Structure 1
Amino acid sequence: MSWADLHARTDILHAVLDRAARDPFDPTLFDDLPGLDRLFGGPDGVLLALRHRWENHLVVKLEHALAQGKSVVDVHNELTAEQPALRAILDAYDTDRLYRSPRPRALAS
């Protein structure tokens, strides 16, 4: 993957998150994003990349928080407050079904 592709992938993720901040159920959430199919294999690939991002952030926060005596629920709620658009899009779409057969291209974020 080139640097240009990496930046294009990041731009797509940010565009989707910006749209989800307004309405995570918007049927045009993934429309008109140049390179989405090539870089992610379609909307499902974007959802996988966003879920991967969420899980990475959650794991890091958990490692720090559990050492401080915080509960998993507290950490989850804290991350949800920090990244409401990301959580909203994951709540709006069934990403569990995607994890049964993830696409390597989608997870390369």
Structure 2
Amino acid sequence: MTWIDLHHRTEIVHTVLARAAINPNDPGLFAGIADLDRLFGGVEGLLHALANRWDNHLHVKLELAELDGLTPTEAYLELAAEQPGLRALLDARRAIGQTTRDRALAR
């Protein structure tokens, strides 16, 4: 992957997250995005990348929460407040977006 492709992937992620912040259930959420198939292998690939993004950020939040004396639930809620578009999109696409940590926190 070239730097140009990497930057374009980032633009796609930002575009989708901006759209999701407005309406995560919008049927046109992924419409008109050039190179989505080429750079992510389609919508499913992008959803997996977004779920991975959430997982990475949550992992860091959980580590910091332990150091700061916060509960895992507090860390989760803090991240959800910081990234509402991402969380809303993953919630709207629960089959793809529910991560192992999300299931563990829900117990």
TM-score range, shorter chain: 0.7 to 0.9
Distance 1:96 1:47 in 2: 7
Name the counterpart of 1:16: 16
Q: CA RMSD of the aligned region, Å?
A: 1.5
CA distance in 2, matches of 1:31, 1:81: 26
Who is 1:61 aligned against? Answer: 61
Q: Which amino acid aligns with 1:95?
A: I
Unaligned runs of 5+ in 2: 101-107
Q: 2:103: which partner in 1?
A: none
1:26 aligns with 26
1:96 Cα deviation after fit:
5.4
Question: What does residue 78 of structure 1 align with?
Answer: 78
Separation of aligned partners in 2, 1:64 and 1:81: 16
Name the structure with the higher helix share: 2
Q: Greater relative contact order: 1 or 2 (C-alpha under 8 angstroms, separation 6 or more)?
A: 1
In 1, Cα distance between equivalents of 2:44 and 2:11: 16
Aligned position for 2:43 = 43
Amino acid at match of 2:96: T
Whether 2:52 is the aligned partner of 1:52: answer yes
The alignment partner of 1:95 has SS state of helix
Q: Unpaired runs of 5+ in structure 1?
A: 100-109
Work out the percentage of aligned pairs sharing the same amino acid: 54
Count of equivalent residues? 98
1:95 pairs with 2:92: no
Cα deviations by residue, 1:55-92 (Å, 9 ceiling, x for unpaired): 10111111111122111000000000000000000000
